[in-house]
Structures are given as structure tokens and as C-alpha cells.
A and B are shown apart, each in its own frame.
Chain A
Amino acid sequence: MYVVIAGGGKVGANVARSLMRLGHEVTLIEQRRDRFEHLEDEFEHQVQRGDATELFVLERAGMARPPDIMLALTGDDEDNMVICQLAKERYGVPKVIARVNDPRNQAHFDLLGISPTICATSSIMALVEHEVPEHDLIHLLELRKENLEIVEVQIDRDSPSAGKRVEGLKLPEGSRLISVMRDGKAEIAVGSTTLEAGDQVLAILEPGKEDELRRVLLRR
């Protein structure tokens, strides 16, 4: 497999090293002179110096072949978006993966059709939600193309939804309960399902509706 990587920081350099060890052909592009010189000692001709948002730099890195995959791993979100657009739409690279540095830019990557993306901050937050019980609503899965997400909500004694049937809940528009886990057993949530304290409820909803759902199920 031929892989071009933009950005030779910690992430890019380690990904390059790992791919090379697996026997893949890799070209790494790094703009900063100090970093490039350091990388050149290790990667020799497999690292090139330049701005990976410049067409001639991409072409020098073999973009015309084209590579099987382009990884945009710089520390700049705008650069990563442009690199992916150029790779996909100008050079016909079949697959791109982009790093998102600021999670607030995720929506821009989605808007421009750049997928998949990886964001360290979002991954850490998802783990924190999962590990720290204070978080009463846990994000389990993001379905970005569908613009939906699956969350888990823990019902407790004080929850207004405890003792109520699903059909009687005023769930926010754009949300549905999927299943109820009780005593280690999961059941599909239907209209007649009655929620109880201790239930773990899975729900599917449009991003941004979390607070409304929380209010209906937990009143917080």
C-alpha cells in the first residue's frame, strides 16, 4: 500500500514509522525545517520538506500515482481540510483520514465531506464520560453520515421518568428510545415498556438534543 502523510509531528512521525514497519511504502511531508532535518536522519528519502497544501509539494510526493490513502495529520485543521479536499477531488485518492485538532471544527470537516476523522479531545471526553459516573448521559456512538448518535442514560429513583411508560414520555422530536437494560437483560423499548429506577436506557437522537432528552428522562 502507498501512503502519503502530511504532518511530521509526534502523530505523523509515529504513524509513518508504524506503517513502514508493516512493510508499506510511505512518504511523509513536513514543513518546518527543524522537524524535517530531524526526521530526515531517520526516514531519509521517505520524508520531504514542504507545505502539503501546495499542489507542487503534493505532486512531488507522488500524488499523481495516486496513493491508496492520504493521512492529513498536521496540527492545523484548515490545512487538514484543504489537504483532504485536494487529495480526493483533484488527485482521486480513494481514501483520506483527517486529524481534528479543535473539536469545534468537527462540523466543518463533516460539512466538507471529509471522513473519517479522528479527534483526540473528543476521544478523551468520551472515555471520561464513560469512566466517571457523574456523567448521567454517555455518548456511545456517533453516526456522522446519518447525523444521529446513540447515548446511554441511567435512570435513578429521582428521575421523573421512573415508573412511566415510554409512550407517555414527551421525548424531544428527533429522538427515540432503543432498549432498556434491567438486571443484566436488555429489551427493545416499545410504547408499553415501563421505565424503572436502575434501568440503563439506550436512545438514538440528533446531536444537540441531549439536554432535552436529559430533562425528560432525568430532569437535570
Chain B
Amino acid sequence: MKALIIGCGRVGSTIALQLLKEGWEVTVIDENEDALSRLGENWPGTFLVGHGMDTDVLREAGVEDMDALVASTDGDNTNIVIGQVAQKRFGIQCVVARILDPARADFYAARGLQTVSPTKTAIDTLMEAVRACEVRPVGTLSL
């Protein structure tokens, strides 16, 4: 299985390393060549320097043969556009876009783009944590 990761920040690089460990063939694109260092000393996959909206760079990365694409740059709108281009132009079945803004994540999810909103996840998790505090009886903390 082949995966293309666009945006090699904390999220993108970790996904790339994890997928590689699970036996995927992984290609990573980032605008900044320094981002390669996030992938460890000897990255055995492919790493390309370029913008994820640049069709030439995507083609060089072999976008047409990808089984999955992760759009994980630091720009919500960049991820939204890359995700749609991957789906509509290159026909990639599994496309996941990271969208921090929950409102835009919902809007594009309703239009068939698989979106992940870390903000929404954080809100839900924090709410859970706060609610859990509420029911804990006072006085059980032994310090």
C-alpha cells in the first residue's frame, strides 16, 4: 500500500513514520527541506520539497498510484484544497484532511471529504475530563 503525506510537521511526520512501520510505502512532501529531519536519521521513504498544491510536485510524487493521501499542512484551507484535488482530479479513494476549524471540518465532511478536526477532538476530550471532575466526590484525594 502506498501513502502520500503532505505537510511534514509534528502530525505529518509521526503519521509517516507510523505507516512506514506498518509496512506502507510512504512519500512525504513539505515546502521546507528542514522538515526531513523530523523523519529521523535515515528516512527510507521518499521525501520531496515543494508545495502540495503544485500539480508537478504531486505527479513527481506519483500521486496517481496512491492508495491514501493525508493533507496535514499547517493551513486549513490548503488541506481542504489539496484534499479535494486528490479526490476529484487524481481519484484517490482514501483522502484525509486535517482541519483545525470545526465549522469548516463539518462543512467539508458533509460534502464527502474525510476530515479530522484536532480542535474538536480536544474540546470533546477536555469536556469529558471536566465532567469527570464534577462527579468525583470531594475528600477522596489523599495527599
Contact = CB atoms under 8 A, between A and B. Distances in A.
A77 B75 CA distance: 12
Given A54-B101, A108-B53, A111-B89, A89 B111 contact: yes
Interface residues of A, number: 19
B53 A78 contact: yes
Contacts of B77: 53, 76, 78-79, 81-82
B80 A78 contact: yes
B84 A112 contact: yes
Of the four ranges (under 10, 10 to 19, 20 to 34, 35 or more), the interface on chain B belongs to 10 to 19
Interface string A71-94: 000001111011000100110000
A90 B84 contact: no
B85 A111 contact: yes
A55 B104 contact: yes
B103 A81 contact: no
A54 B53 contact: no
A1 interface: no
Interface in A175-196: none
Contacts of B85: 108, 111
Contacts of A55: 103-104, 107
A20 B54 CA distance: 37
Contacts of B54: 104
Interface of B: 53-55, 75-78, 80-81, 84-85, 88-89, 101, 103-104, 107, 111
